[in-house]
Structure 1
Amino acid sequence: MKAVKCLVVVGYLLCMFAGRSIAQQNIQFSQYVFNSLSVNPAYAGYKEEWFAQLALRSQWVGVEGAPQTGTISIDGIVDPRDRKMGLGFQITSDKIGPQFTTSATANYAYRLQLNADDTQRLSFGIGLGVAQYSLKGQMIRTSEQGDQALADGSDNRIVPDVRFGVYYNSDFWYLGLSLMDAFSGSKVNNTVPSGSFNIVRSRHAYFIAGALANISPDVRVRPSLMIKEDFRGPTSADLNVMAIFNDKLWLGGSYRTGFGLWKKQYQDLNLSKQNSISGIIQVFVTERFRMGYSYDYVTSKLGSNQNGSHELTLGLTFGRVPRSFICPRVF
């Protein structure tokens, strides 16, 4: 229970630091369940071997200017003997209409052994990086020419970034808290020149949790939860269930919705809390190479105007640590 108490304290501190934000929503992948480095820097090195992943997401197919996102990441442990230090790198490119974002982050995690059997670990992580935000004003069409509210030509901004996280895991369950894009929303970053846009992503806090249940020697069930908070709009919740067959085939789905965690300004706008449902599959083609695919069906009013969202992931484990020395990592 010491680990849970520590997570509660860290979560309180992260929320105090988060403050308020006035910018856009962060990227969210449906297949974060395969690699939580995208939402928590303390996850770096969890698999205890080097793992590289490519993720491509095409959202709201059929909608002009819909989000197109790609990310590549690599993480592992830098001290194979003690397995206390994890290191991870992530590069992300995102396009939404006339807006383009490219970011690079280096993540470091220090992992504490909580019991003699080393079946419980508590990790503290920090990520440092930089993001470039671009807006091509010439791509924006308006009903009136010469709108002074629009950027003249292209608007580019480079913003430093920091993220924090804490992550606990045992063989059968895990918990994580994190704060992403911590520099976004500060007074410095919210002060923009006249005639330009504030296109910096808002701060986000994440809570992730999950468990593992062994149904039979060949079948396991992995339920999980992710709550995302941007301190401005509806709080987002992802409810996921994956069935694992022979540790080679993963089948499952998720339901994403919004809810009101506390009173916010958006609630006066009567926004819909409905979001999407997803089907997810992951296949271990070989012992070291895996492929994943997910399809999101939008349940809100937007659903009739688009053809869903597609997401593809490719993952590869490598390194000098013998596979026989590593326990299967399913979180």
Structure 2
Amino acid sequence: MMNLLKNITLLFVMSLGFYSQAQTDVKLSNFVFAPLMYNPAYAGSSDGYSATGFYTSQWVGFDGAPETLIVTGHDRIGITNLGAGFDILSDRIGASTENRVVGNIAYHLRLSQNWLLSTGIKLGGTNYSIDYNLLSIEDQNEFGNGFGDISRTSFIFGTGVFLHRDNFFVGLSIPNFLTTEYIDEFRNTLANTTPNYFLTTGYRFELEREVYLQPTVLARVANGAPYSALVSFNLDYKDKIYASANYEHNVTAGAFVGLRITDQIMAGYAYDTSIATFAQYNGGIHSFMINFRAKERYRRDRCGCFTY
């Protein structure tokens, strides 16, 4: 019994370090490349189809360390004022896995010659599961039954607004209004999901012709969790080389570098390190990104932010 408790306690402690991502909404350090993850109103905010993929690995060196795969894409629907997009997430930590598929739709309204406002909704589903067979349980009959994979599914419904012009943007969003509690057959609470409230904003400075610096902020408020704000400084050098540095107080610091291989394809790598006491025990966070955009998206004439 003591070994069982030790294993459950270890899983619980590991989950705490990743809880803000696994059971709420993922917060990427290079979030400027995945705005649709946080705000459905971003869908179709610039001309031309775009898709981005991310792979993130945390706590390198730990067995069962968190791994996250994200794919997101969006486009304007014809010549209408509607935009549509999707975001897909697969998140694994130890014996637990979360898979999420979400659709996004937005309506865009021109307020003036320079300002545009959009509103959007998210609708989809998520599946959360735990495979007890992956846990080191000394006595498999302790609970009277054999263990296996326990799976629970729930809906996602969110909304957001997005205001922007040629050099500034601000967005407010709740990616999921719904509160869900996942419970196993033994009435144990496996995980909870609660609404997260996001504010994103950024301003683009032109340092010289086709060279831009854009400070951005991603702030999050969630019930039962401390307020957090991730600040990022992003450099776009002639749409060929990208670089950024980010910082979240008492949480992480990191950097990103990206290269546009062709007009349609850009790839990048980010590394973030914990700046809390736990930093000496983990190997940091490694993220790989690849982006594809349609040729007409090069104009980027609708949104002042870095549009991906």
TM class, shorter-length: 0.7 to 0.9
Q: Please identify, of 150-159 and 245-254, the stretch whose mean Cα deviation from structure 2 is larger.
A: 150-159
1:30 to 2:29 alignment: yes
| Alpha-carbon contact 2:46-2:297 (below 8 Å) kept | no
Correspondent of 2:176 among 149, 170, 181:
181
| Residue 322 to residue 236, structure 1, CA distance change in 2 (3 Å) | closer
**1:290: how far off?**
0.8
Matched, 1:87 2:84: yes
| Structure 2: distance between partners of 1:230 and 1:65 | 26
Q: What is the CA-CA distance between 1:282 and the residue it aligns to? A: 1.9
Matched, 1:122 2:121: no
**Contact 1:282–1:291 under 8 Å retained in 2:** yes
What is the Cα deviation at residue 325 of structure 1?
A: 8.1
Relative to structure 1, is the Cα distance of residues 49 and 88 closer, same or farther in structure 2, using a 3 angstrom cutoff?
same
Which residue of the partner structure matches residue 46 of structure 1? Answer: 45
2:109 & 2:144 partners in 1: Cα distance?
51
Would the alpha carbon gap of residues 151 and 277 (structure 1) be closer, same or farther in structure 2, given more than 3 Å must change? farther
Q: Is the 8 A contact 1:161 1:184 kept in 2?
A: no
Q: Structure 1 residues 149 and 317, CA, compared in 2 at 3 Å: closer, same or farther? A: farther
Matched AA of 1:171: D
Match of residue 93, structure 2, among 96, 110, 114: 96
Which of 99, 104, 113 is 2:110 aligned to? 113
**Contiguous gaps of at least 5 residues in structure 2:** 1-19
Distance 2:133 2:299 in 1: 56
Q: Counterpart of 1:105 in structure 2: which amino acid?
A: V
> CA contact under 8 A between 2:47 and 2:299: conserved in structure 1?
no
Shift of 1:146: 5.6
Q: CA RMSD in A?
A: 2.6
Q: Which of 263, 274, 278 is equivalent to 1:287?
A: 263
Cα drift, residue 130 of structure 1: 0.7
Q: Verify: 1:301 aligned to 2:296, yes or no.
A: no
1:210 maps onto 2:202 in alignment: yes
Given the alignment of the two structures, is residue 159 of structure 1 paired with residue 154 of structure 2, yes or no?
yes
Which residue of structure 1 aligns with residue 211 of structure 2?
219
How many Å separate the matches in 2 of 1:105 and 1:167?
19
Structure 1: stretches of 5+ with no match in the other structure: 1-20, 258-273
- Given that 1:155 and 1:197 are in contact with CA atoms closer than 8 Å, whether structure 2 keeps it comes out as no
- Pick from 128, 134, 142: which aligns with 1:139? 134
- Identical columns (%): 24
Q: Are 2:236 and 1:239 equivalent residues in the alignment? A: no
Q: Is the strand fraction higher in 1 or 2?
A: 2
Deviation, structure 1 residue 126:
0.2
What pairs up with 1:53-68 in 2 under 5 angstroms?
53-68=52-67
The two structures have a TM-score, normalised by structure 1, of 0.79
Matches within 5 A, 1:251-330: 251-257=243-249, 274-318=250-294, 321=296, 323=298, 326=301, 330=306
TM-score (norm 2): 0.85
C-alpha distance in 2, partners of 1:191/1:181?
19
Residue type at the aligned position of 2:77 = V
Q: Please say if residues 150 and 184 of structure 2, whose CA atoms lie closer than 8 Å, have aligned partners that are also in contact.
A: no
Residue equivalent to 1:248: 240
Once the 2 structures are TM-superposed, how far is the Cα of residue 231 of structure 1 from its aligned partner?
Answer: 1.2
- Offset at 1:34? 1.6
Q: Report the Cα offset of residue 75 of structure 1.
A: 0.5
Aligned residues: 286
In the other structure, the counterpart of 1:17 is: none
- Does the 8 A contact of 1:151 with 1:195 survive in 2? no
Mark the CA change 1:230 to 1:325 in structure 2 (over 3 Å): closer, same or farther: closer
**TM superposition outliers: structure 1 runs of 4+ over 3 Å:** 141-152, 189-198, 321-329
Amino acid at match of 2:74: D
